[in-house]
């Protein structure tokens, strides 16, 4: 097991991602943030908390998206579905999708399909904590990246959050 991000590095990466989002979207009134269920929510919650500290909280539109039934592997194994909570329109908005790890791109493709049910955004951007760069199956890239790493297909990246592991860290196994 190899450490990719320690607790301190993870916190700094989250602050940096929030600053980059705010730098590109100075006026958050036309921007919405969508965290992907289940693991992207931990990251999106923290980024939104950072944005609240930097910007007026009433300007931040934040929703959560479940992609369970949009995945192309849904027929193989359904454990349980999470909830989607997007209490605003994404029509003609800048949408920032947030997830923990970008690898093949298939999860993001499912998220794009799911977003279509909520309207047509003017632009969609992707924010990830870890970009696994190799083994991309679809032409998807992240606009905001905490850390880019090179991995073999057989390796796994685990993002541990205090909420369910008692520690904040990213490890490669």
Domain limits of the chain?
Answer: 2-23+32-172
2-23+32-172 folds as Rossmann fold (3.40.50)
Strand partners, 130: 101, 147
Whether the per-residue pLDDT at 23 is higher than 90: the answer is yes
Query: What was the pLDDT predicted at 141?
Result: 96
Residues 56, 53: Cα–Cα separation, whole Å: 8
CB 5, CB 35: distance < 8 Å = no
- Poorest-confidence range of 2-11, 30-39, 50-59, 67-76? 67-76
Residue of 68 and 23 predicted with greater confidence: 23
CB 21, CB 51: distance < 8 Å = yes
DSSP designation for 85: B
Query: What was the pLDDT predicted at 101?
Result: 97
Q: In terms of pTM, does the model score above 0.75?
A: yes
Q: pLDDT tens across 129-167, in order? A: 999 988 899 999 999 999 999 998 899 999 999 999 999
Query: What was the pLDDT predicted at 78?
Result: 61
**Residue corresponding to tokens 């606009």:** 143
List helix spans (H) across 75-169: 106-115, 162-165
Q: pLDDT tens across 61-87, in order? A: 999 999 987 877 655 566 666 889 999
Residues 120, 115: Cα–Cα separation, whole Å: 8
Q: Which of 145, 67, 139, 150 is nearest to 107 (CA)?
A: 67
Query: What was the pLDDT predicted at 75?
Result: 54
Query: What was the pLDDT predicted at 83?
Result: 85
Q: pLDDT tens across 110-123, in order? A: 999 999 999 999 99
User: Quick one: average pLDDT of 92-116?
Assistant: 95
Angle at which helix 40-54 crosses helix 7-24, to 10 degrees, equals: 60
Percent of the chain past pLDDT 90, that is, above it, reads 78
Query: What was the pLDDT predicted at 74?
Result: 58
């Amino acid at each position: 097991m190899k450490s990719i991000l320690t607790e301190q590095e993870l916190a700094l990466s989250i602050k940096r991602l929030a600053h980059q989002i705010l730098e590109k979207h100075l006026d958050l009134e036309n921007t919405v943030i969508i965290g992907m269920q289940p693991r992207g929510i931990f990251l999106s919650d923290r980024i939104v908390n950072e944005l609240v500290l930097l910007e007026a909280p009433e300007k931040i539109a934040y929703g959560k998206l479940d992609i369970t039934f949009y995945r192309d592997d849904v027929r193989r194994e359904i454990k349980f579905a999470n909830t989607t909570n997007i209490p605003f329109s994404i029509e003609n908005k800048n949408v920032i999708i947030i997830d923990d790890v970008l690898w093949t791109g298939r999860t993001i493709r499912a998220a794009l399909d799911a977003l279509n049910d909520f309207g047509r955004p003017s632009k969609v951007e992707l924010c990830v904590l870890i970009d696994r760069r190799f083994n991309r199956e679809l032409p998807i890239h992240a606009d905001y990246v905490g850390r880019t790493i090179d991995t073999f297909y057989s390796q796994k990246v685990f993002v541990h959050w205090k909420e369910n592991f008692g520690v904040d860290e990213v490890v490669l196994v």
